[in-house]
Amino acid sequence: MKFGDWINRKRHNRGFGIQSPSSFFFITQVLKERLPYYAYPLLDKVIDGGATKRRHFRELFRITNYQQPESCISIGSAEAACAMVLAKPFAKHYAIAPTGLTSEKQALLNERGCQIIESIDQFKALMAETSVFGMFYIDATDNADTFIKAAMSHTNNRSLIFVDGISRSQATRQWWKQFVNDNTTTVTYDMYSYGLLFFDKERRKQNYTLKR
């Protein structure tokens, strides 16, 4: 990370320089929330990794809890799917080709009515019949940008796309910046390790860069 980029992230990290009340609230009360949540112990049990990874998926949990989406789609990550079903149990949930799907995670997803989709064809069929989705999680792996482009045609003012691993390579940074600059997106958050794309047409276009 370049020094100038670090300074910019540091400035926004606690809301400094944020003019929008809604963005200020989202940064200080959702992204940077430090109070415990009821589902953290259960979520932590299904996270394979240390404190950094638990914090990461707790953030996804808080974002989902804040958004209260009607539907959630998770591509590639069973842990992301678990975070989303715990945050919004009664939404329509879809986990697409999840990796690391242990019996414990499978039981949690089944209990919350999450539909497991194993193939790309099933994903395409789901998007064809889904006029609008609430939240969409995807890891920045091969062809992730193709999935995101497909999802962006099914958004409304309440939709959110969570893109994991946006700084994993030069290629991911490049297409991430293209989505930030796209006319379809409005408010975006660059957390360095992941990014958030919002589509609320009632808000002016703005990109925030923050530290984890």
Summarize pLDDT for 134-170 with one digit per residue, the tens. Answer: 999 999 887 899 889 989 989 999 999 999 999 999 9
Q: For 38-63, how does the pLDDT look when each residue is reduced to its tens digit (9 = 90+)? A: 999 999 999 988 999 999 999 999 99
Distance in angstroms (rounded) separating the CA atoms of residues 141 and 22? 31
Separation between Cα atoms, residue 165 and residue 173, nearest integer Å: 9
Distance, in Å, from the CA atom of 7 to the CA atom of 59, rounded to the nearest integer, reads 22
Instruction: Quickly state the pLDDT bin for 81 (edges 50, 70, 90).
Output: very high
Residue 3 has pLDDT above 50, yes or no: no
Q: What is the CATH number of the domain that holds 79?
A: 3.40.50.150
C-beta of residue 199 within 8 angstroms of C-beta of residue 155? yes
The SS3 call for residue 154 is helix
Domain count, the chain: 1
pTM of the model: 0.90
Structure tokens at 1: 């990370």
Report H helices in the chain: 3-13, 21-25, 40-45, 51-67, 78-87, 103-111, 120-129, 144-151, 170-181
Nearest-angstrom CA–CA distance, 154 and 169: 27
| Size (the chain), residues | 212
Q: What domain range includes position 108?
A: 3-209
Q: How many CA atoms lie within 13 A of 68 on its CB side?
A: 1
Collapse the DSSP code of 75 into the 3-class scheme (helix H, G, I; strand E, B; otherwise coil) and give the result. strand
The separation between the first and the last C-alpha atoms of the chain, rounded to the nearest angstrom, is 12
How far is it, in rounded angstroms, from Cα 185 to Cα 149?
11
